[in-house]
Amino acid sequence: MSWRAAAGLRSWLLQRLSAVYIVAFLLALVFAWGGESVPFDTWRAWVAHPLVNVGLMLFLLALLSHAWVGARDVVMDYVKPVQLRYLVLIGIGLALAGLAIWSLRIVLLVGG
Amino acid sequence: MRFLIYRYDPDADKTPRMQAYELDGFEDGAMLLDALFRIKAQDETLSFRRSCGEGVCGSDAMNINGRNGLACITPLDSLKEPVEIRPVPGMPVIRDLIVDMEPFYHQYRAVKPWLTVHDPEPEAEFLQSPEQRDQLDGLYECILCGCCSTACPSFWWNPDKFRGPAALLQAWRFLADSRDQATGERLAELEGPYRLFRCHSIMNCVDVCPKGLNPTKAIGHIKQLMLKHLV
């Protein structure tokens, strides 16, 4: 069996790994800023730091790919007609891809 | 005691109905199957499967007060009244509490539940160390009653594609067997988004198994082994 053939395992693994990263990033966020009310400029400067910037982009990608696997699973379980299924999957895929481009652009612009 | 029992004869009835029965004077420790025998003595049109009567054969799986179980090992005094009895969910009903188990057996057959050996067979017997034999505990005890698979939402939605907890428990039973030599073939057969990976760890299977087995754990082992084989 090769990675190419392992479609089921790949998405399962993606879901698990992205979940671990999401939890780790959120914990780091709470650890760094938990409970504080942060002024916009401080926040912006923090996000502009290259390490945070890359970390945040990875977080957004992890979140969106996690959402993709989950939403695809729900559609596979509940939407039976093949054409409708493809339509719904394309809709979700485009929406998530749009969100990815939009959010990554914002973070990139802050990182300058 | 009051009972509400699912009745349906596809040849005669347009829709299923729930029929009420009332019986008293049960001995201490009587099981639900004893009550069904007495109801059948009263109304012989009631149909259900049963054989050994002691939780070994797995014939009398049914949905008891919303939970799958074996009638023969379910004590009457553990049940809330009226006791609602239905066939196990998600399977085609043949009559009353009898369902067509073919979708379940089909998935069971598909995991090739037998030892596969490519080497020449030994002259005497296959040897296994006690530790290797221990790996099969919690797997070989399955009686194929179908309580788990018919309680599994993933199996309800995809009974034709998803193997289901019972078949996957047996898949792991042979993957975990030191004598089996078909690991690669077995793993390749389970790949794809449906056969194994429709399991979302809902764990209804673990909740209802009358033998206390854990298919979710077995499925986790299969996924880990698959990963190990890839890296």
The predicted complex's ipTM stands at 0.83
Residue B194 near residue B158 (C-beta atoms within 8 A):
yes
State the distance between the two ends of chain A, measured CA to CA, in whole angstroms. 43
| Domain boundaries, given as residue ranges, for chain B | 2-99, 102-230
Q: Where are the beta strands (DSSP E) in B52-100?
A: 61-64, 67-70, 83-86, 93-95, 98-99
pLDDT along chain A (112 residues), means of 10: 76 95 95 84 90 95 96 94 96 97 94 73
Per the CB < 8 Å rule, is B158 touching A9?
no
Number of residues in chain A? 112
C-alpha distance from B221 to closest chain A C-alpha (Å): 13
* pLDDT-flagged residues of chain B (< 70): none
C-alpha A37, offset from chain centre:
25
B153, B184, B223 ranked by CB distance to A12: nearest: B223
Give per-residue pLDDT as tens, A22-36.
Answer: 999 999 999 888 877
Pick the CATH number of B2-99 from 3.20.20.70, 3.10.20.30, 3.40.50.1400, 3.30.70.1150: 3.10.20.30
Closest CA to A85 of B49, B193, B149: B193
Which residue has tokens 């754990």? Answer: B217
A13 chain-B contacts, CB cut-off 8 A: 227
Give per-residue pLDDT as tens, B56-91.
Answer: 999 999 999 999 999 999 999 999 999 999 999 999
Give dist(CA A51, CA B196) in Å, integer.
38
**Interface residue ranges in chain B relative to chain A, Cβ cutoff 8 Å:** 153-154, 157-158, 184, 187-188, 191-198, 200, 223, 226-227, 229-230
Q: Does A7 touch chain B (CB under 8 A)?
A: yes
Q: Which residue of B has its CA nearest to A80?
A: B157
Query: Could you say which architecture CATH assigns to the domain B102-230?
Result: Orthogonal Bundle (1.10)
Helix spans in chain B (H)? 32-42, 102-110, 130-134, 153-157, 164-175, 183-190, 204-208, 215-230
| Domain boundaries, given as residue ranges, for chain A | 7-111
In CATH, the number for domain A7-111 is 1.20.1300.10
A9 chain-B contacts, CB cut-off 8 A: 191, 197, 223, 226-227, 230
Residue B140 near residue B173 (C-beta atoms within 8 A):
yes
Enter the pTM of the model: 0.91
